Amino acid sequence: MDIQEIQRLLPHRYPFLLVDRVVELTLEKSLKAFKNVSFNESFFQGHFPGNPVMPGVLIVEALAQAAALLAFKSKGVEGSGLVYLVGMDGVRFRRPVVPGDRLDLSVTVLRSKARIWKVRGEASVAGQLACEAELIATLPDLGSPSASHESPGAGDAG
């Protein structure tokens, strides 16, 4: 899945689109993608001057966006939609992510029932685990004509 297809599915745009390419997809099961981390990313200006480190919250957001792509492809959603992150468990950061890294993203479905999806996400660099988390998200009612605009009151995550 190239960037054009990713942009058709996700509403995010620069500087908040954090998935560059999907390299493997098994519907209803798993997805592998990556983000090329560049020194030109706006967040490196202040995080941290002289020691640029990708914020952990953005690594989790990249995993959430990868999970949203998996959910949309699995459910046959066309066009930009919204997925709302409603919970995170077991978030752990294992190594810093710095400019020049390729952040490999892997999400695996633990459970999906109706509109609720629980996935395990792992972000790694050169085979070293950088972040792991279990993410819980809800999709809008896909049968609703206003599905891409419904909000369950949670924060946007994908």
Q: What is the reported pLDDT for 48?
A: 95
User: Has 47 been annotated as catalytic?
Assistant: yes
Which pair of structure tokens corresponds to residue 128?
């070293």
Q: List the domain boundaries for the chain.
A: 3-156
Q: Which residues contact 46 (CB under 8 A, 6 or more apart)?
A: none
Which two three-digit tokens encode residue 116? 């609720």
pLDDT band at residue 146 under the 50/70/90 scheme: very low
Tokens at 47, concatenated: 């995080």
Least Cα distance to 119 among 74, 88, 157, 83 occurs for: 88
pLDDT at 143: 54
Q: In this structure, which topology does domain 3-156 adopt according to CATH?
A: Thiol Ester Dehydrase; Chain A (3.10.129)
Q: Among 47, 75, 115, 118, which one carries the catalytic annotation?
A: 47
Model confidence at 49, pLDDT cuts 50, 70, 90, reads: very high
Beta bridge partners of 22: 33
Each residue's pLDDT tens digit, 75-110 = 888 776 788 999 999 999 999 999 999 999 999 999
The helix (H) or strand (E) run that includes residue 120 is strand 116-125
